Amino acid sequence: MTQTLDPVFKGVIPYLSVEGAGAAAEFYQKAFGAQELRRMPADDGKRFMHIHLEINGGSLMLSDAFPESGYGHQPSHSFTMQLVVADLDSWWKRAVDAGGKPTSEPQVMFWGDYYGAMVDPFGVHWAFNQPAEQPA
């Protein structure tokens, strides 16, 4: 029997462990228009075992760090969350207004796309890419 998955469960789904997953989910809702699909609190009532968000048609999953279980927090430094959007300026403004810190202001890059990058209050790196107009 073949099971059909909901589109938000397809592809590669980033799963971030942050300090303050509940606050991060709220930030992503303000900054990126995320919709929260599921939230599972931890037994301590302060942290979250799992939060599932949908951003720009794709999934992002979050949890708090649980160092007592061997899952301590490790800051983001070797990956970037990429958002490919049709209107970078509006996405950028919303994210900056919510508290994102620019690391590269939006500009047309050497490969032709409009691109900007920032880091969020939880140390996660984000990039915004608006593809160049393709000739007809």
Residues 72, 117: Cα–Cα separation, whole Å: 26
**All structural domains of the chain:** 13-65+75-130 (3.10.180.10)
The per-residue pLDDT of the chain, averaged, comes to: 91
pLDDT band at 8 (very low <50, low <70, confident <90, very high): low
Facing residues of 64 across strands? 18
Residue 23's nearest CA partner among 101, 92, 121 is: 121
What share of the chain in percent tops pLDDT 70? 90
Tokens of 110: 């050497």
pTM: 0.88
The 3-state DSSP class for residue 21 equals helix
